[in-house]
Copies of this chain bind each other. A is one copy, B any other.
Amino acid sequence: MNITIDPASPVPAYLQIVQVIRLAILGGRLKEGDQLPPIRELASLAKVNPNTVGRAYGDLEREGLIEGRVGSGSWIRPPGENRETLRRKLLTAAWNEFLAKAQALGFNQDEIHRLTGRNER
């Protein structure tokens, strides 16, 4: 678990932490039964206040992705029935976000392909 927080980002620190861990779980790098680092340890690594990590863990728990057991740490929960659907939905959303930005910048289909190196063949 290696998290770097950008304190200048408009995205609040606790949300940056939530996003990194959420992606790690959905991407399978954190699996059912894995233990998350203790709040104070992650806080020290990410150079934020323990309260900030605590809030992030709380959000992930409310989403059903992790489970905190007082006195024994926080753990990754088993995948729900629609985790795969969510994973695909997030990929599509990320792709659309990229496309929108590229088009807003005035690039056409061809230029996008060329500059992102995807005309391999």
| Interface, chain A (partner B; CB < 8 A) | 7, 10-12, 15, 23-24, 26-29, 62, 69-70, 87-88, 90-92, 94-95, 97-98, 101-107, 112-113, 115-116, 118, 121
A contact patch SS: helix
- In the bound complex, residues from chain B placing their C-beta under 8 Å from that of A94 are 97-98, 101-102, 105
A105 touches B87 (CB 8 A): yes
A116 → B minimal CB distance (Å) = 5
Copies of this chain, complex-wide, total 4
Interface CB pairs A-B, < 8 A, 17: A7-B70, A10-B12, A10-B15, A24-B104, A26-B105, A26-B106, A27-B104, A29-B104, A87-B105, A90-B101, A91-B105, A91-B107, A94-B97, A95-B102, A95-B115, A98-B98, A118-B118
